[in-house]
Amino acid sequence: MIKLSLEDVRQLATETLIGAGASSQNASAVADSTVLAERDGIRSHGLLYVPIYAEHVKCGKVDGTAVPVVEKVKSGSIRVDAKTGFAHPAIDAGFDAFIAATKENGVAALTTRNSYNCGVLGHHAERIAEQGLVGLCFTHAPASIAPTGGKTPVIGTNPFALAVPDTDNGAALVIDQSASTIAKSEILLRASKDETIEDNWALDSEGNPTTDAKAALKGSMLPSGGQKGFGVGLLVEIMASCLAGALLSRDAAPFSGTVGGPPKTGQCFLAFDTSAFSGELFVERISALTQAIEEQAGARLPGSRRKNNRQAIEKDGVIVDPTLLERIKKSG
Amino acid sequence: MIKLSLEDVRQLATETLIGAGASSQNASAVADSTVLAERDGIRSHGLLYVPIYAEHVKCGKVDGTAVPVVEKVKSGSIRVDAKTGFAHPAIDAGFDAFIAATKENGVAALTTRNSYNCGVLGHHAERIAEQGLVGLCFTHAPASIAPTGGKTPVIGTNPFALAVPDTDNGAALVIDQSASTIAKSEILLRASKDETIEDNWALDSEGNPTTDAKAALKGSMLPSGGQKGFGVGLLVEIMASCLAGALLSRDAAPFSGTVGGPPKTGQCFLAFDTSAFSGELFVERISALTQAIEEQAGARLPGSRRKNNRQAIEKDGVIVDPTLLERIKKSG
């Protein structure tokens, strides 16, 4: 195994993406997100993704040289056309105007369309919290979840994320959760190993529960919490796809593989300036609320696992499999 | 059984609340919500609630003559102090400014504090949709759900609601769902009949699953979807309690019974002007999305049951149990 510093991770990701054909600015925006994922121990969205990003630049699923276009249509609405490039530079392009609009109006929204997988959604929410604002983020994904009672996928694993500022330029808590019972990557992994899946993870193509991972991939994933879980994913769909003017999840090309062209999915981020609502009371309430959760043996605050990983990895660096490193180097 | 028109329901609710001591404006705002609940067949929030409202005015849990105070702190933030009165007149007081701010800025928020149970949350979202805007609403309730792994309730059944405008001054779809597996009223009903509950509804006071309804009432209710369900309820808590500056769910006096004084809970409503984001594309996307759900045998669009009830009840009126009618008349 090889140990890399977070700075090594950044450099490796940047160079690989530039090697694949991305502009330096776009590569840098995506590399930042790779660093954050590795820093928090979210390996699925870290270096593992770099060869996929590189492949997607090469095959045209992502335009690595796209220049996003930002419009401020009304004083609280910033919309960005990602021009089938990476999501991260599109979000970056609108971010300062979004934060300024929030501080001016009390609340503002940033939407992106013709976009792509935005990586760890919670990091975008946390970036808003680092500006002293509450961040509520929605992003959608190619369809994998059927409506309850149906069998044809209509929405993706559609996560939402909420981050709340602390008094120290960080986040007091970060909720980041998808609408599905389990990550699709886990079902893909089980299928590749010919292993079974739990019976509440997915349905087969006929809409029946299945423990066969391959049958699940031809069917649909189950939402966490049944009809209500579907409702949460549908909320995300309406914000990140419909309001943003992106393609619907069911019309989006897959995030994985090289076929289908750009997914043209979207994001919708909201920010709230607490001074325009409850002000100092907000800080008091959040402090009492997080304490009421943390003081219970067995319970944990959402986001606490990532925070713990962060402390260790910032100190110790990232352990990388040499075969992954080889794959990354070849992909650029 | 007695049949009432929706106009009869309005008059009965208004007169009862005025009889209990509410101002005519406050009584009228609450009576409107009673009519909507009965119209949609949501009996738990219709006439059944009128004697409770009346009792709460009499015992001081609600100040029936409260005059809400509205402030516009920034151009997109309307906050209302309900002054421990009903939620409905507080929402009414800020509503026009909230809608105007949304149309001006693209997005706006309305928060209420020192408030009370706001009835059917979906009706507030739908009212926003009737203005041609997307409405996303949060309200919280006295604590009944413990964090996953814990046993002390921290958040309430905390629903969220989303309504999307159609092209006909109505809503194309309404999501309205609480964070719990089941409504608390169902557990109360089972306890009163000495019946058992399902094993995924609640935990006893030691944090163990229970089928004993009375033990459940001393313990905590389970969120729909485990840890992720708790996450959804926590999002609602942060928006409707913390951002609004209301009491936390765990500090709020119960919505039921006469003890504890005003619950001082809160609401947070967001509205989005689609013309500031995806415009015409929004209508296309929603139409394709709702069709993709409705065309699947066995699946249904959120809110469709209420819509069907509405058609029948607007035509046929409301069937009321004479003993309930008697109870209402005595309560005023």
What is the reported pLDDT for B95? 98
- More confident: A332 or B142: B142
Mean residue pLDDT across chain B = 97
What is the reported pLDDT for A197? 96
Please tell me the distance in Å from A315's CA to the nearest CA on chain B: 30
At residue B212 the predicted structure's pLDDT band, cuts being 50, 70 and 90, is very high
CA angle B101/A108/B241 to nearest 5° reads 85
Identify which of B146, B162, B227 has the shortest CB distance to residue A235.
Answer: B162
Among A188, A309, A176, A329, smallest CA distance to A255 is for: A188
Residue A108: closest C-alpha in chain B: B107
Residue A293: closest C-alpha in chain B: B147
Chain B neighbors of A239, CB-CB under 8 A: 136
Among A268, A267, A266, smallest CA distance to A252 is for: A266
The share of chain B scoring above pLDDT 70, in percent, equals 100
Distances (CA, A) of A63 to A37, A69, A115, B195: 22, 14, 10, 61
Residues B220, B203: Cα–Cα separation, whole Å: 5
- Does the pLDDT at position A48 exceed 90? yes
Please tell me the distance in Å from A162's CA to the nearest CA on chain B: 7
Respond yes or no: is residue B24 known to be catalytic: no
Beta strand A77-81 pairing with A107-115: parallel
- Residue from B239, B273, B293, B301 to probe the interface with A (highest A Cβ count within 10 Å): B293
Contact A202, A222 (CB under 8 A): yes
At residue A332 the predicted structure's pLDDT band, cuts being 50, 70 and 90, is confident
Rounded average pLDDT over A262-267: 98
Task: State both tokens at A153.
Answer: 């996928």
Rounded average pLDDT over B124-145: 98
What is the reported pLDDT for A185? 84
CB contact under 8 A, A285 and B162: no
Q: Where are the domains of chain B?
A: 2-180+223-279+304-331
The share of chain A scoring above pLDDT 90, in percent, equals 97
CB contact under 8 A, A273 and B207: no
Residues A180, A239: Cα–Cα separation, whole Å: 17
Residues B47, B17: Cα–Cα separation, whole Å: 12
DSSP state of A221: E
What is the reported pLDDT for A240? 98
Mean residue pLDDT across chain A = 97
At residue B34 the predicted structure's pLDDT band, cuts being 50, 70 and 90, is very high
What is the reported pLDDT for B310? 96
CB contact under 8 A, A75 and B75: yes
Identify which of B105, B113, B162 has the shortest CB distance to residue A105.
Answer: B105
**Which residues touch B93 (CB under 8 Å, ≥6 apart)?**
B68, B69, B70, B80
At residue A242 the predicted structure's pLDDT band, cuts being 50, 70 and 90, is very high
What DSSP assignment string belongs to B238-256? IIIIIITT---GGGSPPSS
What is the reported pLDDT for A157? 97
Rounded average pLDDT over A140-153: 97
Q: Positive or negative CA dihedral for A137, A140, A141, A147?
A: positive
Phi, psi of A86 (to 5 degrees): -65, 155
Q: Residue A270 belongs to what H/E stretch?
A: strand A265-272
- For the entire predicted model, the pTM comes to 0.98
What is the reported pLDDT for A109? 99
What DSSP assignment string belongs to B151-192? -S--B----EEEEEE-TTSSEEEEEEE-SBSS-HHHHHHHHH
Residue contacts between A and B (CB atoms, under 8 Å): 249
Residues A218, B75: Cα–Cα separation, whole Å: 49
Contact B6, B39 (CB under 8 A): yes
CB contact under 8 A, B224 and A226: yes
- Does the pLDDT at position B332 exceed 90? no
Please tell me the distance in Å from B288's CA to the nearest CA on chain A: 8
Contact A244, A79 (CB under 8 A): yes
Please tell me the distance in Å from A18's CA to the nearest CA on chain B: 32
What is the reported pLDDT for B59? 97
Tokens 């708790």, residue?
A: B230
The share of chain B scoring above pLDDT 90, in percent, equals 97
Chain A neighbors of B241, CB-CB under 8 A: 285, 289
DSSP state of A142: S
Helix%, strand%, coil% for chain B, nearest 5: 45, 20, 35
Respond yes or no: is residue B130 known to be catalytic: no
Q: What is the pLDDT of residues B275-324, one digit of tens each?
A: 999 999 999 999 999 999 999 999 999 999 999 999 999 999 999 999 99
Contact A165, A130 (CB under 8 A): yes
Please tell me the distance in Å from B37's CA to the nearest CA on chain A: 21
Among B234, B238, B197, smallest CA distance to B218 is for: B197
Contact B263, B142 (CB under 8 A): yes
CB contact under 8 A, B299 and A111: no
CB contact under 8 A, A74 and B298: no
Q: What is the pLDDT of residues A104-116, one digit of tens each?
A: 999 999 999 999 9
Rounded average pLDDT over B219-235: 97
Rounded average pLDDT over A144-148: 97
- Does the pLDDT at position A38 exceed 90? yes
Q: What is the pLDDT of residues B56-101, one digit of tens each?
A: 999 999 999 999 999 999 999 999 999 999 999 999 999 999 999 9
3-class SS letters over A302-321: CCHHHHHHHHHHHHHCEEEC
Identify which of A151, A228, A274 has the shortest CB distance to residue B224.
Answer: A228
Q: What is the pLDDT of residues A54-102, one digit of tens each?
A: 999 999 999 999 999 999 999 999 999 999 999 999 999 999 999 999 9
Chain A neighbors of B152, CB-CB under 8 A: 292, 296
Q: In what order do the strands lie in the sheet with A171-177?
A: A69-74, A77-81, A107-115, A265-272, A134-139, A160-165, A171-177
At residue A202 the predicted structure's pLDDT band, cuts being 50, 70 and 90, is very high
What is the reported pLDDT for B184? 86
- Does the pLDDT at position A179 exceed 90? yes
Contact A162, A143 (CB under 8 A): no
What is the reported pLDDT for B124? 98
Residue B77: closest C-alpha in chain A: A106
- CATH fold of the domain at A2-180+223-279+304-331: Ribosomal Protein S8; Chain: A, domain 1 (3.30.1370)
